[in-house]
């Protein structure tokens, strides 16, 4: 997990981060309203919006690939209701970091089954100017798709070839 990292491997995450940066000013981060979905429309399937309400974090929106990844609709549910996500690097630790530092948080996690989870958490202001929401981008890629979709990414696991 790297806070404020702009070295992203996926083009869609770069596009989303660029939109966030374009709407962030020296003393104020981007507001949710300023983010223009038309700028990242091809990524909407991989996007969710989380909102902090008191001590809980709720999904306010979840794209079709997020629903597929989680196995069900996430909208209206608390993050902790998805234990596999909540307990991963991209879950509660990343969400807390993004809210606390009001900076983008991104990372990757290599999962069983030759899959890599690419994730990004972008804090945004609500209508009242408070940072209560995150725009999140999550994408699972099989190793066979890495060369095409994330050519800059290097697997941490090394595959040993038999002689």
pLDDT in tens, the chain (163 residues): 335 445 688 999 999 999 999 999 878 999 999 998 888 999 999 999 999 999 899 999 999 999 999 999 999 999 999 999 999 989 999 999 999 999 999 999 999 999 999 999 999 999 999 999 999 999 999 999 999 999 888 887 544 444 4
Residue 19 lies in a domain: yes
Distant-in-sequence, close-in-space partners of 36: CB < 8 Å, separation ≥ 6: 19
> Cα(70)–Cα(48) distance, rounded to whole angstroms?
11
28, part of any domain: yes
Q: How far is CA 3 from CA 42, 123, 162, in A?
A: 25, 12, 39
For residue 109, give its domain range. 11-162
Instruction: For residue 90, give both structure tokens.
Output: 């991209």
Is 20 contained in some domain? yes
Answer whether residue 27 is part of any domain: yes
CA distance 126 to 143: 37
* pTM of this structure: 0.89
| Token duo for residue 134 | 């995150």
Residue 141 neighbours by CB distance under 10 Å = 19
Q: Is residue 5 part of a domain?
A: no
Residue pair 126/31 in contact by the 8 Å Cβ criterion: yes
- CATH number of the CATH domain containing 64: 3.30.450.20
Structural domains in the chain (count) = 1
Tokens of 68: 């597929």
Rounded Cα gap, residues 4 and 104, in angstroms: 5
């Amino acid at each position: 997990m790297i806070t404020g990292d702009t070295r992203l491997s996926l083009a869609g995450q770069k596009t989303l981060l660029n939109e966030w940066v374009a709407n962030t000013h020296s003393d104020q981060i981007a507001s949710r309203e300023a983010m223009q979905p038309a700028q990242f429309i091809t990524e909407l399937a991989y996007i969710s919006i989380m909102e902090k309400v008191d001590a809980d974090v709720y999904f306010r929106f979840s794209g079709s690939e997020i629903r597929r990844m989680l196995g069900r609709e996430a909208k209206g549910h608390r993050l902790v209701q998805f234990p596999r996500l909540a307990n991963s690097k991209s879950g509660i630790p990343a969400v807390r970091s993004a809210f606390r530092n009001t900076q983008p948080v991104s990372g990757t996690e290599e999962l069983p089954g030759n899959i890599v989870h690419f994730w990004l958490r972008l804090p945004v202001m609500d209508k009242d100017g408070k940072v209560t929401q995150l725009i999140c981008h999550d994408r699972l890629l099989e190793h066979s798709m890495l060369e095409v979709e994330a050519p800059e990414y290097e697997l941490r696991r090394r595959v040993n070839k038999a002689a």
